[in-house]
Structure 1
Amino acid sequence: MYRLVLATAGALAGATVAHAHHRRRRAERLAAATLETLLNAVDANDAVTGAHVRRVAAYSLIVACALGLDKHRQREIERVALFHDIGKLHAALFDIIHDASGLTKEERRAVATHPQRGAEVLEPLATFYPALAEGVLAHHERWDGSGYPRGLKGEAIPLTSRIVALADTFDAITAPRRYHRGENVAKALDVIRNGSGTQFDPVLADVFLRQSVVDEITEAMRHAHAKARRRPRPNRRRSAERGAPDVSFRWRDQIVRPRAEHP
């Protein structure tokens, strides 16, 4: 009888563990599907921002590979890059961000709320992606503490945010937008070089400026822009009417993949 009780208890415990594991896996799949839906929403709302976050993710992954970060950290950086501007989907910000004229002080203050808005959107997924909301919240912090929204300084800024800040700046300078044509790579590299130690982590800036890294980022940039020129750009209203485009986290197949190692 004693052995039977033990066997029964063991079977019940095993079934409970298996059931809990199954529930956890279902929740993880739902969280991943939620992220994919959010990425689709970025595209459907604004194809320009959708292309921007993919380029930023590609450049960030190249830097992460150059740093020798493991796959887990690379995935964290990738997610922060892909969702760093999701706070700009707020209806009150869309027209301001895409206004070709100069922004007023009030408008600049409104735009500066997008890290906080993005973090609030992503916070419910913190159980599965604990670094995501924090990384998005901090991507406009500066190494010298003069950034926003919290004025974090130095290594108090998450590594994910420090890497994405470099890639975001590079793309903001080089990418053609509605309101400017885009500068050349040399101009973007000068901005990063001059911002090392003030705007950017100086160690990460040095990695970004390595010739091997610059060559790979430039290749990825040219590939992405060439593909964008071949693809018709839908307007916002028609995209919404058709529904979200078929975009998945296999987005990396659309852009040159980062090499596994750098000299």
Structure 2
Amino acid sequence: MTTSESSGGGDVSRSLELLWGTGERPTRGPKPGLTLERIVATAVVVADAEGLEAVSMRRVSTELGTGAMSLYRYLPGKAELLDLMLDQVQAEGEGTLEEARTWREALHAAAHASLALYHRHPWLLHVNQARPVMGPHAVRALEQTLAHIQDMEGLSDQELMSVIITVEGYVTGVARTHVHAVEAQHSGAMSPEEFWQAQTPVLAQAMASGSYPLMAALDEDAFAGDVDHFGFGLRCLLDGFEALVASRSGRLDAG
């Protein structure tokens, strides 16, 4: 999987105007009912079904049953459209943290919601978001997360942001592994069973050679696919944060 697009790759000022509604809206277009919201929603549907590379002004206009030039009355091009798509999908997580009573519950819920978002919209992993254009849904999501982790006693504002970045980085890594596996299954190559069966004779010989004693001694189910690796890793992260908060509040020896 290669990154093919970037957030903020177009006219950032125009993207911000469109996201926050501060710019002039076009007069009614030639097709009744055509709106910026419909354009963005249609682009997301195309990206979900066929990948981000399938999204173009022409393709989206075709799906909407109008000419490509009609879309340019609403936004400059695909780069700005992408900024709006990124913010739009963030709306799906709104309300995720409402039932969280502690910072730990909030981060747990946020991590699972983020993983689900990547599963629904795998094209997100193709976008370089190192410089995100912050729209209302993205800002609201960050505001809600911050509101639920304020009780991480003793952490500075910079450290609270580090907590969010660390959890999101972990989620992104797991999501990318999952998406890679799905893409491999649909690539038309061997099935997972055929793939590992092809390697079994060579690996069995390698294990019998005595050169890899630790690998050879692993339980047969060590690589079982039904293990919740995501949940295990997330618990470890949250345990680490909990120990940090405890040490800052004097409940745990910092040493």
TM over 0.5: no
Compare the two structures and name the one with the higher helix fraction.
1
TM-score normalised to the size of structure 1? 0.25
Larger Rg over CA atoms: 2
TM-score normalised to the size of structure 2? 0.25
